[in-house]
Amino acid sequence: MAEQQNNVTAGYVKPAPEARGKKASIKKKKDSLVKTVFMGSIIPVLLIIIWEILCRAGVVPSNQLPAPSTIVEKIISMAQDGSLWGHVWITTYRVLVGFVIGTVAAIVLGSFVGFYKKAEQLFDPMIQAFRSIPSLAWVPLFILWLGIGETSKVTMIAVGVFFPVYLNIVSGILGVDRKLIEVGKMYGLNTLQLVKRIILPASLPSFLVGMRSGLGLGWMFVVAAELMGASQGLGFLLVFGQNMSSPETILASIILFAIIGKITDWILKLVEDRSLHWQDRLEK
Amino acid sequence: MSLALRDVSRTFNGTTAVQNVNLEVKPGEIIGLLGTSGCGKSTLLRAISGLDPEYDGEIEINGTVSKEIHDTTGFIFQEPRLLPWLSVLDNVTFGLTGSRKDKENRAIEYLESVGLRGKEKLYPRELSGGMAQRVAIARALVTSPEILLLDEPFSALDAFTKMQLQDLLLDVWKKYQSTIVLVTHDIDEATYLCDRVVILRGQPGEVEKEITIEQERPRDRGSEELAHLKSEILESLDLNKQ
Ligand SMILES: Nc1ncnc2c1ncn2[C@@H]1O[C@H](COP(=O)(O)OP(=O)(O)OP(=O)(O)O)[C@@H](O)[C@H]1O
Ligand SMILES: [Mg+2]
């Protein structure tokens, strides 16, 4: 964003040094990225060092809280014997499939409810009522209906993803500025064109917000699903670690959850930044 | 295209905003709508455009009475209403059809006339208020509408830019013989541009007076005749007068 602004000012004075301005601003962006990473990692690094020292000094018992180095060793050994990739892959796979199904269902129902008054009157009260049930409460029912196989896990995740995406799509569509719709009408757009050229782009920000919180919930639900019963996956590692009294396995699994969850969120964030660069947002 | 309003009234939840407006506009005529704030000028314009079909009475466009939106009508709103996800260029080409190249060439020509050449790639958030309004003006003029409705189009602009754009409007009018209805608060603007000035008054707003301006174009902004008309208009706008 800073980059664009720079271009603007360059354009005002004389167009020639535009390229130089761009380069400079990319460098500036890099610098600020390095700075954010540095600032953000001071405290975690300090804490990890203290933790390591306390463990080595024997202040905390290692069968309760293993040292960071032990956890890292655990992850490395799992990576070496190959079991790590299977766990990571199956968990990510479940989240992604559930996420796609939940999002698609939310898009279909959400646009329907957003565009048609009748559909809103029919569906929305029911969906709102379902929403007030904590989604984890469905777990036993799904297991009863679908067994503890993949289907029930993916369904649970999809249910968790569905609500935030749905709610944001509906509020995005209902919140489109009437004034912009009038502009479209003045140019003789029909309903389909209005949807494509005005309503969709205008509700995109809200949709993406919904996707990101849906993804967060997806990760939460995969833990619940895998805790219930699984023979593979990061959630299974949690249970396994507990049964084997191996805190390093539990902590390794937690850390892997954090890393993969962050990566998937970061991908969505990139998509968001790319498609919403036009937004007039407050910049810090 | 000709335009006729017959007994047009508009009531919002029991309160009448405008009442019994009658107006005949010949093809190619420029009509100015003047009146104090809240007397229903924007309301009338929205009724003519077809955006608001809830009025009473009849509006006839080119001989047919309907409440639909005509795609040969252009509307410049009181606010710019640019689409924030489109660049300046894409905003201007928004209502055009045809090949991309043609659309862009036309758009650039109009951006040039509103003084925004070289700003095609900016997004609305990067524009000043007046620049945004000029993009909106280009967006409406580029489609060369047969009926052009303008709601205080130049009020956000400085005196000099305003005069340039008034002349641009006259150029477009000369070339396409558009029928124009212009809402304005600026009496000088009305006397400079319009063939006829309609003065609305009161709440609910009613037509108080119509003043025909015969003077040939291009008019001299400083002429005595226009100054005389101005004082006449001011007098009929006077709120204290009963
Ligand atoms: N959508 C609406 N709902 C209810 N009342 C409305 C609506 N639109 C306009 N009005 C009322 O109609 C009256 C006329 O409004 P309008 O916007 O036409 O005024 P105007 O002459 O354009 O004023 P201004 O010069 O300030 O733009 C006002 O009293 C306003 O409150
Ligand atoms: Mg108004």
Read off the pTM.
Answer: 0.80
Question: Which residues in chain B are contacts of A186 at CB distance < 8 A?
Answer: 49, 51, 69, 73-75, 95
Q: What pLDDT, in 10s, does the model give residues B128-167?
A: 999 999 999 999 999 999 999 999 999 989 999 999 999 9
pLDDT for residue A14:
38
Report, at the CATH architecture level, how domain B3-81+149-236 is classified: 3-Layer(aba) Sandwich (3.40)
**Interchain contact, A187 vs B124, CB within 8 Å:** no
Do A155 and A142 contact (CB within 8 A), yes or no? yes
> What are the backbone angles phi and psi of residue B142, rounded to the nearest 5°?
-65, -25
B45 CA distance to ligand 2 middle (Å): 9
Q: Indicate the class that CATH gives domain A89-221.
A: mainly alpha
**Which two tokens mark A205?**
């920000």
Contact state of B74 with A204 under an 8 Å Cβ cutoff: no
Q: CA–CA separation, B47 vs B17, rounded Å?
A: 12
The residue ranges of every structural domain in chain A are 89-221
Q: Of all residues in chain B, what percent carry a pLDDT higher than 90?
A: 82
Per-residue pLDDT averaged across A97-124, rounded?
Answer: 91
pLDDT of residue A225: 87
**Residue extents of the structural domains in chain B:** 3-81+149-236
Q: Which of A8, A187, A279 sits opposite B122 (nearest CB)?
A: A8
Residue A244: strand, helix, or coil: coil
Query: Cα dist. B192→A222, B28, B32, B143, B154 in Å?
Result: 71, 16, 10, 24, 13
Q: Helix or strand or coil: residue A228?
A: helix
A4 close contact with B: CB closer than 8 A: yes
A16 contacts chain B (CB < 8 A): no
Distance from CA of B217 to the nearest CA of A (A): 30
Mean pLDDT of the region A245-252: 91
Which residues does a 6 A CB cutoff place in the pocket of ligand 1? B 12, 17, 35, 37-43
DSSP code, position A138: G
Give residue-wise pLDDT tens across range B99-111.
999 999 999 999 9
Does the predicted interface ipTM exceed a cut of 0.85?
yes
Residues of chain A contacting B126 with CB distance shorter than 8 Å: 4-5, 8
